[in-house]
Structure 1
Amino acid sequence: MLSDADYVRFASFFGRPLESFIRDHRNADYPEINHSKSGPATPLLVRDGAVHWHWASSHEVEGGAVTMLLGKKAPDVGGETRFARTSKVYESLSDKMKHWSDGLVARHGLGRAPWIEGETEPDPDRPRRQTDAPDHPLVMAHPVTGRKGIFTSGTAYGIHGMDDAEEIALIRELREHIVRSEHRISCKVRAGDIVLWDHFDAVHGATPTEYSSEQGAVCCTGSAPRACQPSTSRVSE
């Protein structure tokens, strides 16, 4: 198992590590490391808080580009991380839909995207965290490959120039299209495994799990690959 120092150093090959906006989740010695831990005693809405399709830190002005996840513990059954390719989704759109969606700009806020089937909705009684409220292109080109992908994450809640009903309907339709079975895979992260994914071409989400024991991971996310400037990354465990 990598030490915390080695983990951050490895993450730095992919960019400058970012710190989690949730201070309580930061490693005391290495704040670039974000701890994620759940178990039988964890409240349900907190435990399954990542059971929605998203791009980590899309609610921030400087969003992540790469996440590096190191497994510490895993349940015997369940606990998979699911991934869906956003570039494949864009490629599957009609030419008319591509032309229409290119150039649209979406408003983002933490936990504010219209929820779709299978996701865990945020606890309405939980105090809202103070985060950025950025605008991002609805169609985003990969900074290295140039491939376009649909960028709704789990945070897009509005589109400039559209009325409320129209923008919500479009965002929900795109989010449902992104996670169709032909666009997604799943991965079981076990103790000692390191999984990396590219935010510019993927959204991810956890799966609900009935825990008989504790599960834990550490993660690193960055805002841009090494080839891009400015270069940043984030680490979690």
Structure 2
Amino acid sequence: MTLQIRKITPSFGAEITGVDLTKPLTPDVEAEIVSAIAEYGVCVYPDTGLTDEGHIWFSRMFGNLWTIGGQGTRRSRFDYPQLFEAGNLTAEGTISDDEMARKRRKGDRLWHTDSSFTKERTTYSLLLAHEVPVSGGETGFADMRGAYDALPQEMKERIADLQAEHSYNYSRMLAGFPITEEEVEQGMIARHPLVHTHPISGRKSLYIASHALRITGMEKEEGRALIKELLAFATQPQFTFDHHWKEGDLVIWDNFCTMHRGGEYDDVNHRRDMRRTTVMAYPPPPVVMDPRFADRFDAAQFEAMAHD
């Protein structure tokens, strides 16, 4: 089997067909899938037919998955802790009327990189559409390798050895969530290089986001001005595209070389059921990375793992 690839832009993003993700894949097909995400940064698989179980099984091809015990004071509506709620529904499956949750989701409308605010970080995000609103709700993607390549040499030299400090609370504050600078400082903050080398392609990439609170060692306002300048540069039209969702779409993106943001939609009156798995970059002990995950289609082991 050979993947059928349609480029979304000349060098970034691809729609992939010709593969059934609901069935076990051969090592050759797995290698093609990994190669495609390394090359294009974002891969769209339309009309996958994946269930929650299939979504998780396929995701485990890329590594160990982040697990979510709950989100804030809400209990999860999923049976599997590997699934993250990326829509607007309650645990009972109705549209949420929680105004604070709506304000918190506003931060997702800013350009960001998943989990940059954690020390461990995450590599891939795999978002599956179960139900989409009648309009809006698209996801925008930005090519951070392409953006880095296009930077003036003077800027590349300026940022080569800089580090940024990332905070989830800071991006919520930027989006209007009622939180103070003092509360941001009291929350989790993680430091990462502003420029890093993508581990598979070997290309340099910007690693920035609206989570980026400041530049280490730089005066606060100067550092935030630099982050804002880089964000504006990297999200120019030549580096971005929007994906307009259809039910069954699975989109995989590489957090080490992309940013993304959610599009506006009427989240008071229209349902959006989106479920995400997220692959850990550096799982804490005692988890041991196994690149093949030979057991991932073993139903008995999967059920035991899912209900631990």
TM category (shorter chain) comes to 0.7 to 0.9
For structure 2, the residue ranges without an aligned partner over 5 or more in a row are: 1-48, 89-94, 283-287, 292-308
CA offsets per residue over residues 93-126 of structure 1, 9 Å max, x none? 11111112111111111142598xxxx7141159
**CA shift for structure 1 position 33:** 0.8
Moved over 6 A (4+): 126-130
Whole-angstrom distance in 2 between the partners of 1:141 and 1:213: 40
1:184 aligns to 2:240 (yes or no): yes
- Whether the aligned pair in 2 keeps the contact of 1:111 and 1:122 (CA below 8 Å) is no
Whole-angstrom distance in 2 between the partners of 1:129 and 1:189: 36
1:160 is matched with which residue? 216
Change in CA separation of 1:28 and 1:144 when aligned onto 2, cut-off 3 Å: same
1:134 aligns to 2:182 (yes or no): no
1:78 aligns to 2:136 (yes or no): yes
Match of 1:218 among 275, 278, 284: 275
1:18 is matched with which residue? 66
**CA shift for structure 1 position 128:** 6.7
Whole-angstrom distance in 2 between the partners of 1:62 and 1:99: 27
SS in 1 for 2:161: coil
Letter in 1 for 2:141: F
- Whether the aligned pair in 1 keeps the contact of 2:169 and 2:184 (CA below 8 Å) is no
Letter in 2 for 1:29: D
**CA shift for structure 1 position 20:** 3.7
- When structure 1 is superposed on structure 2, of 28-37 and 194-203 the one drifting more is 28-37
CA offsets per residue over residues 167-206 of structure 1, 9 Å max, x none? 1110111111111111110001221111111111110000
Whole-angstrom distance in 2 between the partners of 1:230 and 1:186: 33
Whole-angstrom distance in 2 between the partners of 1:21 and 1:98: 40
**CA shift for structure 1 position 46:** 3.9
Change in CA separation of 1:36 and 1:46 when aligned onto 2, cut-off 3 Å: same
Change in CA separation of 1:25 and 1:53 when aligned onto 2, cut-off 3 Å: farther
Letter in 1 for 2:276: C
Change in CA separation of 1:131 and 1:13 when aligned onto 2, cut-off 3 Å: farther
Change in CA separation of 1:50 and 1:99 when aligned onto 2, cut-off 3 Å: same
Q: Work out the percentage of aligned pairs sharing the same amino acid.
A: 27
Change in CA separation of 1:41 and 1:71 when aligned onto 2, cut-off 3 Å: same
**CA shift for structure 1 position 92:** 1.0
- TM-score, normalized by length of structure 2? 0.66
Match of 2:178 among 104, 117, 124: 124
- Whether the aligned pair in 2 keeps the contact of 1:81 and 1:187 (CA below 8 Å) is yes
1:67 is matched with which residue? 125
1:6 aligns to 2:64 (yes or no): no
CA offsets per residue over residues 20-62 of structure 1, 9 Å max, x none? 4754464653111112222474534245341111111111111
1:150 aligns to 2:206 (yes or no): yes
- Whether the aligned pair in 1 keeps the contact of 2:63 and 2:279 (CA below 8 Å) is yes
Give the alignment's Cα RMSD to 1 decimal. Answer: 2.8
Whole-angstrom distance in 1 between the partners of 2:188 and 2:199: 22
SS in 1 for 2:202: coil
**CA shift for structure 1 position 90:** 0.6
Which structure has the larger Rg over C-alpha atoms? 2
- Whether the aligned pair in 1 keeps the contact of 2:198 and 2:257 (CA below 8 Å) is yes
Number of paired residues? 225
SS in 2 for 1:61: coil
1:193 aligns to 2:230 (yes or no): no
Whole-angstrom distance in 1 between the partners of 2:185 and 2:84: 17
Whole-angstrom distance in 1 between the partners of 2:131 and 2:186: 30
SS in 2 for 1:200: coil
Whole-angstrom distance in 2 between the partners of 1:169 and 1:131: 22
Letter in 1 for 2:201: T
- Whether the aligned pair in 1 keeps the contact of 2:109 and 2:261 (CA below 8 Å) is yes
1:235 is matched with which residue? none
- Whether the aligned pair in 1 keeps the contact of 2:127 and 2:275 (CA below 8 Å) is yes
- 1:83-122 alignment, distance < 5 Å: 83-112=141-170, 121-122=175-176
Letter in 2 for 1:140: H
